[in-house]
Structure 1
Amino acid sequence: MAARRPRTAPEHESDDDSYEVLDLTEYARRHHWWNRLFGRNSGPIVEKYSVATQIVMGGVTGWCAGFLFQKVGKLAATAVGGGFLLLQIASHSGYVQVDWKRVEKDVNKAKKQLKKRANKAAPEINTLIEESTEFIKQNIVVSSGFVGGFLLGLAS
């Protein structure tokens, strides 16, 4: 029976060569992929829960919101459409007389007021958009799960 000799590390030509050992798990913990895409401000949710948990939480809340949005939207559309239908039937039957010139005048007046208010509200809207963008950047995984769930909720 032949005896085995323990393997020894091959000798290098010089001992000056030194290599740095890179621990990829530690690197991955410190450098998330979304940090490179969306900046260093990863939100608190990112550090508390796993990615799968975040996607599930976002997906479930998104599905609930989408489902409710769909149901409320259908109800609102039915109410508005039914109201217009009843108004037209009443108008054609002679129960209601509509002064269309007055309606046109009121609509034009409302348009002018909306234009004035829209110019004043622009900074508030910009601030809201910036805050929303920052929130989405900080919680990108939950936000993407929410969007997916919302679309599924609308479809169901």
Structure 2
Amino acid sequence: MEDLFPVAGQLTFGAVAGFLSGYALKKVGRVLAFLLGILFVTLQLLAYAGYIEVNWTRIQQDVEPFLNQDSLEGLWSEALKVLTYNFPFAASFTAGFIWGLNRG
């Protein structure tokens, strides 16, 4: 029974750290999405008013490589690798992280 206490502590800490990381990431992601939306609306308003001309084709060409499926999967894989590096409780961290993303 005494052998279970250190393991339980590691699992609890891993789950809490994962939850907080996932929760924070989702909140930051929402703020970034909001800011990108505001940027888009601002650019459209300035273009409509004739102050600027936006080359949307060029923007699409520059941004598209970052948004393909392989790139996103690689980013997710690398993020989990960094977040769980040297953690003996990686499984509980990952579970807590996903829970935090869902709750955030």
Partner of 1:69: 25
Structure 1 stretches lacking a partner, 5+ long: 1-46, 115-128
Cα root mean square deviation, aligned: 3.4
What is the TM-score with the length of structure 1 in the denominator? 0.43
Structure 1: which amino acid aligns with 2:98?
L
% identical equivalent positions: 27
Higher helix share: 2
Partner of 2:96: 149
Inter-CA distance 82–58: structure 2 relative to 1 (3 Å threshold) = same
Give the superposition deviation at 1:155. 1.3
1:3-18 maps to which residues of 2 (within 5 A)? none
Partner of 2:12: 56
What is the TM-score with the length of structure 2 in the denominator? 0.62
1:94-109 maps to which residues of 2 (within 5 A)? 94-98=50-54, 100=55, 104=58
Partner of 1:93: 49
Q: How many residues align?
A: 84
Give the superposition deviation at 1:51. 2.2
Whole-Å separation in 2 of the counterparts to 1:138 and 1:91: 50
Structure 1: which amino acid aligns with 2:15?
G
Deviations 1:6-55 (A, max 9, x none): xxxxxxxxxxxxxxxxxxxxxxxxxxxxxxxxxxxxxxxxx9x6222111
Which has the higher Rg, Structure 1 or Structure 2? 1
